[in-house]
Structure 1
Amino acid sequence: MIKIWCYHYISRLELRDGLFHDESINRQVGQAHAVASDQLVERACCLAQTKGLLAQYSQIRHLIGSAIVVLLVLGLIAGGSAALAALGPGATPVNVIWSLMGLLLMPTITLILWLVSLLMPGAGAPWFGRIWQTLLNRFIGRSDLLDAWHAWLDTTRQSTTLRLWMGLMSHLVWFALLLGGVVTMLAAFSLRHYTFLWETTWLSVDVFVSLATVIGAPAGWLGLSIPDAKAIAASGNQALVDPVVRMQWANWLVGAIAVLGVLPRMMAGAGCALVIWSRLRRQKPDPQTAYAQAVLAQIRHDVGTQLPDGPPGEADRFEPVDRIPANQQDFSGSVVVGVDMTALPDWVSARPGLGVVDDRDSRQEVFARLEEYRPERLLIVVDGGQTPDRGSVSLVRDLSGKAGQARVYLQPRASGLQRDELWQGKLVESGLLAPLQDQAQATAWLQGELA
């Protein structure tokens, strides 16, 4: 996370104060990385290190950790207090169903609401997550760490993990609260004498026997002895003093809270952490923003001013480094690029090609190349048998704007399935020229023989 945080932190500072210029860093990242997004991230990390800004990242992490510890301690204390209140002083029998509801009802309801909120993008954040963020805003809001904190928020928003972070904090607090309840009950059952019963005015004994058996099943999975149907029926309205039955009811209560309360929160928190890690790992800056384009232009300029080492007096025989792509092709004339295809057709393999755009990384790399070389002619090859959707047409339109002239060629499928009319209608509707449907026409256009 620290790398993408560095990018957002440096971008906030540069958008406010102007671009930092370090020629050595620009040359280093420009020569070491070909992908524009990688250049942006590495430059930001190098600048953050040279300017001593990484210490602020450590301080933000420390404050986040401190806020978590505060909430966890409060959760443990609250859970212990709730358990003691549910059990009572021991002078009167413990109503097992009532005590269980007092400890599990609210955590279960909030967990269900959180699961429902996953299907509702506009739903609010979990309670304890909002409390956690409020604590951090209170600590950081008026300090010199404000930009660093906002960079952290930008990182979570860009990766769509802010709600997941708040959900993780909420699950951790509920986990601590329930765990505190379990630990307190274990201590109370070890030091106090408790008896257990269940009470009802309307419901029959069979209802409670079935209910207690189902709820007690998780405790049985843990290897704990639980009351059987006979003991459950005998515990109604009058507590049994048999030590074995009392121990079984204590196991029943502890096992139910551990499996039905603690375990779901632990699993939900682990799920949030896994998704957060996965999204942050894939997050990369968008090189198409105005800020990113300005930074990339600075990098290209600084790389281009350095000439490769050569024999004395013959440096004029070399081109600037940023004008020599890795595959030694000239991308300033006629260039070919494919969209959502397995591979470019064989007949264009002899011409400068940028490959196929089929994912986020390839899109960023192709756009960076086009922005750098601005070719005179760009032939965009698409699968003529594929239905033109909004995303593919939008991508073709964006690619067309990166060259002097651009045309679309519909590559026919071997199966014969073609959707030429659909493509033509969508392209013309988007303000583009009608597609080329003949290989000879496409070749002539690339050679400048066809307008």
Structure 2
Amino acid sequence: MTELNNLWLTETIRLREEHAGPLDDMEANRLARTAGGDLPTRIARRAVWLAERDGLAEALRHWLQGARLALIVIAVLAVISGAGLAFAAMGDGQTSVNVFWALGSLLGLNLILLLSWALGLVFAGEHGATLGRLWLWLSEKLARDAKAVQLAPALLLLLQRQKLNRWALGVLVNGLWLLVMLSALVILLTLMATRRYGFVWETTLLSADTFVAMTQTLGALPALAGFNVPTVEMIRASGDAALNIESARQAWATWLVGVLVVYGIVPRLLLALLCLWRWKTGRANLHLDLNLPGYAQLRERLMPTSERLGISDAAPAQLHRVESGVSDLQSDGALLVAIELDNQRPWPPQLPENVSDAGILDSRESRNKLLEQLSRFPPARLAIACDPRRSPDRGSLALIAELARSASATRVWLLQAPPGEALDAARLGDWHVALQQLELPFADCAPLNWLETGHD
């Protein structure tokens, strides 16, 4: 995942805990402490692990897919809208084109919204939020993941702290309007290339001199870029009827295209690039606000005051999976541990000299103590003894998975029933199914030879 996605998930976890209460994060905290790093790094590692475990990371991937699809839908609508503007401006070719009506159709709404966006950026920084909310809403709907509803508020809060939301919206708004203008330009050129248009201007109140001045003023910048501007004679003559002169038609067509490019396309392109530059610059400076209560409370759990600086073990590659995150180079020795055995069974069995006994885990304290030990000294081989007379509840399976991630190789030993008792076949089958889902090997005989030598 990218750094932005990690920060996004971290903020999502903070909001979730703020509204629904603290999550079960004991393993996440332990793994974050083991991985080391400064406090923001540990908070992010903890959040990413919790997000993977609780399905938020997958929801983020669904949301991003929905966001891309929503952007494609809006872009298609922008292309259609631009084509509509061009058709509305040029008409069907049967009548002359009023150049200033055409110009108003092509640029009027764009320039009004451009000015409105610029004023909103200066005074509020939130203009364009309607289009942004539409995109977020459509992204959420297309994601089709109930957990994705927590992602959009977290993203907005994260960006607002650095005022990046205005630049993100600026890229979206100006990029889409640039697409509208480009679509209008393409259709405009296509219509002019395939139809013969005459151009006129009409007025009741204004004089011909006013239109001459307006035409020359609007054409001044395009003229610097090489676009033609109609002569004064052409402008005056076009007030009576469309000139049936090839040079006049080409001059008006070139003037109209030039005005569209200079006042419609270029400003949107420059603003989109400006917003993109500010967005990338600001995104590189994004960081967690450690003064927020949700993060401040994690300081002692993730970076205890008693902790000393030193070299930390490398982070496991994939913490959320049952597969071991410990390499053979990190691990050493063999260990046998039992989970919640009763007093009827003598324990431990006779063990080879190189196999250690971790005892019986029957309390939260004993479990946490062993997990902390394994995080520092992971074994090469770990055997977990379970009593299949007990049901494979979620807590036991979670503990087995957590222990398995702390060793290079793990096997589960399903103990035989004491003399005079028989195992429940259905319950034993439940154990088999659960361990197969965890992808952990299991057997009903003691794996002592495997613990001693690494071979059966």
The SS at the match of 2:303 is: helix
Give 1:112's aligned residue. Answer: 115
The aligned counterpart of 2:402 is none
1:389-441 CA-to-partner distances (Å, cap 9, x unmatched) read: xxxxxxxxxxxxxxxxxxxxxxxxxxxxxxxxxxxxxxxxxxxxxxxxxxxxx
2:161 to 158, 161, 168: 158
CA 28–159 in structure 1, closer or farther in 2 if over 3 Å, else same = farther
Distance 1:126 1:23, change over 3 A: closer
Matched, 1:149 2:174: no
**Cα distance in 1 between the residues matched to 2:110 and 2:260:** 11
> Match of 1:391?
none
Alpha-carbon separation, structure 2, partners of 1:308 and 1:202: 83
Are 2:270 and 1:267 equivalent residues in the alignment? yes
Paired residue total: 306
* TM-score where L is the length of structure 2: 0.60
Give RMSD over aligned pairs. Answer: 2.9
Q: Which amino acid aligns with 1:154?
A: L
Q: Where do residues 34-49 of structure 1 align in structure 2 (5 Å cutoff)?
A: 36-45=39-48, 47-48=50-51
Share of identical aligned residues, percent? 27
Is the 1:140–1:149 contact (alpha carbons within 8 Å) kept by the matching residues of 2? no
Query: Which of 20, 31, 35 is equivalent to 1:25?
Result: 31
Q: Secondary structure at the match of 2:241?
A: coil
**What secondary structure is seen at the aligned counterpart in 2 of 1:85?**
helix
Other-structure match for 1:324: none
Q: What is the aligned partner in structure 2 of residue 285 from structure 1? A: 288
8 Å contact from structure 2 (residues 128, 173) kept in 1: no
Counterpart among 208, 219, 223 of residue 220 in structure 1: 223
From 90, 95, 106, the equivalent of 1:92 is 95
Q: Do the aligned partners of residues 130 and 304 (structure 1) sit closer, same or farther apart at CA in structure 2, a change above 3 Å counting?
A: closer
Cα separation, 2, equivalents of 1:59 and 1:65: 10
Cross-structure match for 2:258: 255
- TM-score if structure 1 supplies the norm length? 0.61
Aligned-residue offset at 1:278: 2.5
Structure 1 residues 17-44: Cα deviation after superposition (integer angstroms, max 9, x where no partner) = 52422355322443x33xx334433443
User: Contact conserved, 2:140 with 2:148, CA < 8 A, in 1?
Assistant: no
Distance 2:123 2:309 in 1: 53
Secondary structure at the residue paired with 1:89? coil
Give yes or no for contact 1:82–1:181 (8 Å, CA) kept in 2.
yes
Counterpart contact for 1:127–1:170, Cα < 8 Å: no
8 Å Cα contact 2:29/2:46 also seen in 1: no
Query: Which residue in 1 is equivalent to 2:247?
Result: 244
Q: 1:157 and 1:282 mapped to 2: Cα distance?
A: 13
Structure 1: which amino acid aligns with 2:11?
A: H
- Give the letter for the 2:162 counterpart: S
Please give the alpha-carbon distance, in whole angstroms, between the structure 1 residues aligned to 2:56 and 2:306.
25
Give unpaired runs (5+ residues) of structure 1: 310-451
| Residues 269-348 of structure 1: pairs in structure 2 closer than 5 A | 269-301=272-304, 304=307
Measured in 1, the distance between the counterparts of 2:213 and 2:311 equals 82
Query: What does 1:178-193 correspond to in 2, within 5 Å?
Result: 178-193=181-196
CA deviation digits over 1:100-150, x for unaligned, max 9? 012211111111111111232286545433432343354458723222333
Q: Matched residues in 1 for 2:5 and 2:176: separation?
A: 25
Deviation string 1:164-200 (CA, Å, 9 cap, x unpaired) is: 4334322223222222111111110111111111122
How has the CA–CA distance of structure 1 residues 306 and 80 changed in structure 2, closer, same or farther, with 3 Å as cutoff?
A: closer
Deviation at 1:72, TM superposition (A): 1.3
Distance verdict in 2 for CA 1:17–1:8, change over 3 Å: same
Q: Which residue of 1 aligns with 2:359?
A: none
Pairing 1:407-426 to 2, within 5 Å after superposition: none
How far apart are residue 303 of structure 1 and its match?
Answer: 7.8
Gaps of 5+ in 2: 313-456
Distance 1:131 1:54, change over 3 A: closer
